[in-house]
Amino acid sequence: MSEQSVSKTEMKTKVSQLESAARKIGFDAMGIAPSDTSDLMPPFDDWLKKGYHGSMAWLVRGRDKRSDLNRVLPGIQSVICLRTNYQTQVRQLDYLNDTATGDITCYGWNLDYHDIIEPRLKVLETELEKLFPGCTTRRYVDTGPVPEKALAEQAGLGWIGKHTNLLTEGVGSWYFLSEILIDVLLPFSNPAENYCGPCTACIDICPTGAIVAPYVLDARRCISYLTIENKGVIPLEFRKAIGNRVYGCDDCQIVCPWNEDATTTPEAAFQERSGTRLLTELMALDPAGFRERFRKSPVKRIKRRGLLRNVAVALGNSGDAEVVPVLQRALLDKEPLIRAHAVWALGELMGTEAGPFFKQTLANETDPDVILEIQRITTLRWG
Ligand code: B12
The protein residue with its alpha carbon nearest to ligand 1, atom 72, reads 248
Q: Is 218 inside a domain boundary?
A: no
In a domain, 229, yes or no: no
From CA 64, how far away is CA 44, in angstroms rounded? 11
Neighbours of 362 (CB within 10 A): 14
Q: Note whether residue 350 is domain-resident.
A: yes
361 domain residue, yes or no: yes
Note whether residue 336 is domain-resident: yes
- Residue 217, classified by CB atoms within 10 Å of its CB into exposed (0-12), middle (13-18) or buried (19+), is buried
pLDDT level of residue 380 (50, 70, 90 thresholds):
confident
pLDDT digit string (tens) for 158-192?
999 999 999 999 999 999 999 999 999 999 999 99
Structural domain boundaries enclosing 50: 8-92+105-182
Is the pLDDT at 3 greater than 80? The verdict is: no
Confidence at 6, pLDDT banded by 50, 70, 90: confident
Name the band, by pLDDT with cuts 50, 70 and 90, for residue 356.
Answer: confident
Give the rounded percent of residues in the chain with a pLDDT score beyond 70.
98
**b/e 128-140 (16+ beta carbons within 10 angstroms → b):** beebbeebbbbbb
Of 163, 182, 201, the domain-final residue: 182
Average pLDDT over residues 345-360: 89
Q: Which atom of ligand 1 is nearest to the CA of 173?
A: 83
Q: What is the pLDDT of residue 383?
A: 64
What is residue 101's three-state secondary structure?
strand
Pair 17, 147 in one domain: yes
Pocket test for ligand 1, best of 165, 174, 256 (most atoms within 8 A of CB): 165
Distance from residue 120's CA to the centre of ligand 1 (Å): 22
Question: Which ligand 1 atom sits closest to the C-alpha of 142?
Answer: 89
Q: Specify whether 56 is located in the same domain as 157.
A: yes
Is 3 a domain residue? no
Please check whether residues 161 and 280 belong to one and the same domain: no
For the segment 183-234, what is each residue's pLDDT rounded down to a tens digit?
Answer: 999 999 999 999 999 999 999 999 999 999 999 999 999 999 999 999 999 9
Which residue's CA is the nearest one to ligand 1's atom 44? 215
Q: What SS3 state is found at 335?
A: coil
Listed residues 136, 163, 182: the one ending a domain: 182
Asked whether residue 256 carries a pLDDT value surpassing 60, the answer given is yes
Distance 164 CA to ligand 1 centre (A): 6
Residue 176 sits in the same domain as residue 30: yes
Of 150-164, 263-277, 312-326, minimum mean pLDDT range: 263-277
Per-residue pLDDT at 302 exceeds 80: yes
pLDDT of residue 1: 64
Helix (H) / strand (E) element for 247: namely: strand 245-247
* pLDDT at residue 353 tops 90: no
Residue from 86, 87, 148 whose mutation best tests the ligand 1 pocket (most atoms within 8 A of CB): 148
Do residue 148 and residue 283 come from a single domain?
Answer: no
User: Probe ligand 1: pick from 104, 138, 149, 206, max atoms within 8 Å of CB?
Assistant: 149
Q: 245 and 66 in contact (C-beta within 8 Å)?
A: no
Domain boundary, last residue among 149, 182, 215:
182
* Lining residues, ligand 1, CB within 6 Å: 40, 43-44, 47, 56, 105, 107, 141-142, 146-150, 160, 163-166, 173, 175-178, 215-217, 219, 222, 224-225, 229, 248-250, 252
Q: Which atom of ligand 1 is nearest to the CA of 106?
A: 71
> What is the helix (H) or strand (E) element at residue 202, kind and residue range?
helix 201-205
Nearest-CA neighbor of 236 among 246, 226, 250, 247?
226
Whether residue 302 sits in one domain with residue 161: no
Number of structural domains in the chain: 2
* Catalytic hit among 142, 261, 286, 367: 142
Tens of pLDDT, residue by residue over 93-138, are 999 999 999 999 999 999 999 999 999 999 999 999 999 999 999 9
User: Given this model, what pLDDT does residue 382 score?
Assistant: 67
16 falls within a domain: yes
How many Å lie between the centroid of ligand 1 and the Cα of residue 340? 30
Q: pLDDT class for 378, splitting at 50, 70, 90?
A: confident
> Does residue 210 fall inside a structural domain?
no
What is the atom index within ligand 1 of the atom nearest the CA of 248?
72
CA of 149 to the centre of ligand 1 (A): 7
Q: Does residue 204 carry a catalytic annotation?
A: no
Q: What is the pLDDT of residue 169?
A: 95
| Dist. CA 301–CA 324, nearest whole Å | 28
- The helix (H) or strand (E) run that includes residue 290 is helix 287-293
CA–CA dist 144, 48 (Å, integer): 17
Q: Are residues 153 and 280 in the same domain?
A: no
